[in-house]
Amino acid sequence: MTTQTPQKMEFQAEVKQLLNLVIHSLYSHKEIFLRELISNASDAIDKARFESLTRLELLGDDATFKIRVEADKDKSILRISDNGIGMNREELVRNIGTIASSGTKKFLEQLTGDQKKDMNLIGQFGVGFYAVFMVADKVVLTTRRLGESGSAVRWESSGDGAYTMEDADKSSRGTELEIHLKEEDKEFLEDWTIRNIIRKYSEYIAYPIALIDKDGKEEVLNAKPPLWRRSKSEITAEQYHEFYKHISHAEENPLAWSHNQIEGALEYTSLLYVPGKAPYDLYYPERKHGLSLYVRRVFIMNDCKELLPNYLRFMRGVVDSEDLPLNVSREILQKNAVIQKISQATTKKVLNLLETLSKEDAEKYASFWKEFGAVLKEGFHMNWENLDELKRLVRFESSRMQADKYRGLQDYVVDMKEGQKDIYYITAENRKAAEGSPHLEVFRKKDIEVLYFTDAIDEWVAQSLTEFDGKKLVNAAKGDLDLGDLSKEEKKQQKEAKGQYQKFMKDFEEKMSATLKEVRVTTRLAESPCCLVADEGDLGANLERILKMTNQKVPDSKRILEINPDHPIIQKLNGIFEADSTNPKLADWYGVLVDQALLAEGSPIPEPAAYVSKVNKFLAEVLGG
């Protein structure tokens, strides 16, 4: 019996904020509270089942897992109970009284004011329990933790900022919720309504959900086997869509899926979805993987990292194996040969699925690429296994395409100019910077396509993606540019100019030796007087910028200045140098040209104030000051 007085506790500040929002702002889609509570009950049973795998005695004579839903119309109470893991006092305070703070903060930041979107966020961010306060003016939760002999706990709250806890009489394990419905939400007591909502959201829940009528008769609402176990020919596209939405809390349809029922040496089923939209936390280091692992229909775990490499973590779906033992743990999975084989085959399946999508529906593939391309590109890093597949899947923006349209390497090669040997790319902060770069002048003049590597990760992609279809990938801003037969004219000019500008270049080089490695005649420029290029083995300007941004030490590497012998500034400057090689202004002019080359490629200049004062001096001279 319980004699002690209830212990009164305050909700954590973030929870209060959230409750306030749930109670006062979210009125549409109230029905999702039921989805959230049933999903919690199912999670709780998963955990109980998992804990008891090795200690079956924990379950006692209550070994049939079940979720029960019962409406008491006279009292306006909806009861939902499960024989899952339950909670003790500490767990109640931690799980219901507080929320992992970073998650809540992000949730609150992401709120859009659009109710439909905001409700969807509630599912994604794992603050689902509080949805019950959309329909309840009081909730009583009674719970007993699996395997603990202490007292059960009764928790009660009206969602108004505080809750109470006290000992309770409940001898069976699990959680029972007593939801006191608000006057205007009594519809949730109707059998018909409850049945529909549960069918809609909880069809694939792995445990029976029983609706109890007023005579105590049970009706199981989710009697179908899980979707992935049914034969492919019996499943409609709509059912595939629904299942995807169910497992990923998504609103949109998936872009593509692949359902594989594998028999032979290994037996397993996989249902793999390419999502339509990226989750908010795709790039967070703790981002979860999207595949769940089942063994002979029994749920083992969500976000099973062992099933797919990290660069495919955006995929959603299920793998159900016949061969793994039920009591697999994460530690076992890491070394398990079965899982490694499944993982290799599943990786191939996903890459094939993506390739098929790219061939059959370019528009959908582009939308996939926009959402997930940068993640897929992580696959180039330290990965030789599926490099060929990845090369066929990778897309970039390019000088030939308008913004947001993507180009694959295969298409690039098909459209190469006659006489073009290599594939050209430029790395830059964004499309604008790439387009403005002086390094592309000769490419524009000759109408040669250049791929834009504008994601930060592209610098690393470039290190693995050095060849495609027998053609080298060449950085347009690095090394000695040789366009082969296409630059015959430039090479001839370069040779002539070399002799003519020899002494001038030497002087330039000497005076700027602190910043420059070399000064030479260009084959890349058409309109600009000069540009900076990196030596073959050195870091490029873009990589340097990225490394500095992430506070990494960047080795000092001097750049090469290329001058355009056709440009009037270079020609005049050479004239001045030849007339008087001791002219004291030469050093200033050289300095300004180097600074301008930095600005043109989007790099910072080392001493902006000195640059401005030099330019002002020149302006004053020109203006007759």
Residues that bind Mg ion (CB under 5 A): 40, 128
Min dist. Cβ of residue 122 to ligand ADP (A): 9
- CB nearer to ligand ADP: pick between 141 and 532: 141
84 binds, among ligand ADP, Mg ion, none (CB under 5 to 8 A by kind): ligand ADP
87 binds ligand ADP (CB under 6 A): yes
422/419 Cα distance (integer angstroms): 9
505 binds, among ligand ADP, Mg ion, none (CB under 5 to 8 A by kind): none
36 binds ligand ADP (CB under 6 A): yes
Residue of the chain from 84, 97, 159, 540 that contacts ligand ADP (CB under 6 A): 84
Q: Is 239 helix (H, G, I), strand (E, B) or coil?
A: helix
Min dist. Cβ of residue 123 to ligand ADP (A): 8
Return the structure tokens found at 168.
């309770």
225/230 Cα distance (integer angstroms): 7
- CB nearer to Mg ion: pick between 126 and 602: 126
Min dist. Cβ of residue 46 to ligand ADP (A): 10
Residue of the chain from 25, 28, 54, 95 that contacts ligand ADP (CB under 6 A): 95
Residue of the chain from 82, 441, 538, 544 that contacts ligand ADP (CB under 6 A): 82
Tokens 């200049």 correspond to what residue?
605
Q: In the stretch 168-187, what mask flags binding to ligand ADP with x, by CB under 6 A?
A: -------x------------
Return the structure tokens found at 595.
């600074």
256 binds, among ligand ADP, Mg ion, none (CB under 5 to 8 A by kind): none
DSSP 69-127: EEEETTTTEEEEEE-S----HHHHIIIII---HHHHHHHHHH--S-HHHHHHHHHHTT-
| Strand ranges (E), 285-349 | 291-295, 298-301, 316-321
- CB nearer to ligand ADP: pick between 127 and 328: 127
What's the helix, strand, coil split of the chain in %, to 5? 45, 20, 35
Residue 565: CA count within 13 A, CB half-sphere:
20
- Among 90, 114, 125, 117, CA closest to 18: 125
DSSP 465-520: --EETTEEEEETTBS----GGGGHHHHHHHHHHHHHHHHHHHHHHHHTTTTEEEEE
CA 254 centroid distance within chain: 15
Radius of gyration of the chain (CA): 33
96 binds, among ligand ADP, Mg ion, none (CB under 5 to 8 A by kind): ligand ADP
Residue 435 and residue 399 in contact, taking contact as beta carbons nearer than 8 Å:
yes
490 binds, among Mg ion, ligand ADP, none (CB under 5 to 8 A by kind): none
- Residue 57 backbone phi and psi in degrees, to 5: -60, -20
42 binds, among Mg ion, ligand ADP, none (CB under 5 to 8 A by kind): none
Residue of the chain from 22, 26, 44, 93 that contacts ligand ADP (CB under 6 A): 44
Beta bridge partners of 260: 270
95 binds, among ligand ADP, Mg ion, none (CB under 5 to 8 A by kind): ligand ADP
Number of residues that bind ligand ADP (CB under 6 A): 17
H runs (alpha helix) in 13-82: 13-24, 32-52
- CB nearer to ligand ADP: pick between 139 and 342: 139
- CB nearer to Mg ion: pick between 125 and 240: 125
- CB nearer to ligand ADP: pick between 153 and 534: 153
Min dist. Cβ of residue 47 to ligand ADP (A): 7
406/399 Cα distance (integer angstroms): 10
40 binds ligand ADP (CB under 6 A): yes
458 CB neighbour count, 10 Å cutoff: 25
Min dist. Cβ of residue 318 to ligand ADP (A): 19
538 binds, among Mg ion, ligand ADP, none (CB under 5 to 8 A by kind): none
96 binds ligand ADP (CB under 6 A): yes
Min dist. Cβ of residue 20 to ligand ADP (A): 16
520 CB neighbour count, 10 Å cutoff: 18
Q: Which residue is nearest to Mg ion (CB)?
A: 128
194/72 Cα distance (integer angstroms): 13
- CB nearer to Mg ion: pick between 37 and 394: 37
Min dist. Cβ of residue 84 to ligand ADP (A): 5
Pairing between β-strand 209-212 and β-strand 67-72 as defined by DSSP bridges: parallel
- CB nearer to ligand ADP: pick between 41 and 307: 41
Residue 53 and residue 326 in contact, taking contact as beta carbons nearer than 8 Å:
yes
The answer for residues whose C-beta is within 8 angstroms of residue 230's C-beta and 6 or more apart is: 224
Q: CB under 6 A: which stretch of 82-90, 146-154, 309-317, 391-399 binds ligand ADP?
A: 82-90
Min dist. Cβ of residue 131 to ligand ADP (A): 8
41 binds ligand ADP (CB under 6 A): yes
175 binds, among ligand ADP, Mg ion, none (CB under 5 to 8 A by kind): ligand ADP
479/520 Cα distance (integer angstroms): 12
Min dist. Cβ of residue 176 to ligand ADP (A): 9
- CB nearer to ligand ADP: pick between 87 and 312: 87
- CB nearer to ligand ADP: pick between 86 and 254: 86
- CB nearer to Mg ion: pick between 40 and 292: 40
Order the strands of the 450-453 sheet from edge to edge.
407-408, 395-398, 450-453, 423-427, 471-475, 467-468
Q: In the stretch 125-154, what mask flags binding to ligand ADP with x, by CB under 6 A?
A: -xxxx-------------------------
Q: Which residue is nearest to ligand ADP (CB)?
A: 126
147 binds, among Mg ion, ligand ADP, none (CB under 5 to 8 A by kind): none
Q: CB under 6 A: which stretch of 38-46, 353-361, 451-459, 552-560 binds ligand ADP?
A: 38-46
467/452 Cα distance (integer angstroms): 16
- Contact residues for ligand ADP (CB under 6 A)? 36, 40-41, 43-44, 82, 84-87, 95-96, 126-129, 175
